[in-house]
Amino acid sequence: MVITFLNPKVNIIIFYVNTGVFMREYKIKRGHDADVGMLVSKYFGAKGDIYKGIYFEVEGIGKIDMRCEKRNLFVNIDPPKKVSGDYSIIKKWNEFLFEATGKTTKERKKDFSKIK
């Protein structure tokens, strides 16, 4: 069962799946054309069809379920049991999201803050 919450003021959708996990939607910047599948391979070594969905695990981030639809990147992360103190993982994740969406951390935060 999937319930969709839509904020009418902003075109951001959050999916709540019956597992109790929220899936984040990252909007890809207009005019930005990146090969997200290639970027996943470059940063995390995972291969697969990003449009059908890729499931992989990254130390320090957790299990990642990612798919791309039109101009949106949907990401679901199950955090690891043991937290890593290595902050380079966060920097790597933010670099990946910047290259994939064309938006900086500040721009992505602004998109998420509009959901309230």
- CATH code where residue 68 lies: 3.30.310.190
pLDDT at residue 21, rounded to an integer: 56
pLDDT at residue 81, rounded to an integer: 82
Query: What is the reported pTM?
Result: 0.75
- The whole domain housing 65 covers 2-113
pLDDT at residue 26, rounded to an integer: 92
What are residue 66's phi and psi, to 5 degrees?
A: -135, 140
pLDDT at residue 15, rounded to an integer: 40
Digitized pLDDT (tens) for each residue of the chain, 116 residues in all: 333 444 444 444 444 333 445 688 999 999 999 999 999 999 999 999 999 999 999 888 889 999 999 889 999 999 888 776 678 888 999 999 999 999 998 998 888 776 54
pLDDT at residue 51, rounded to an integer: 92
Closest CA relative to residue 111, chosen from 5, 13, 2: 13
Number of domains in the chain: 1
Contact 50, 66 (CB under 8 A): yes
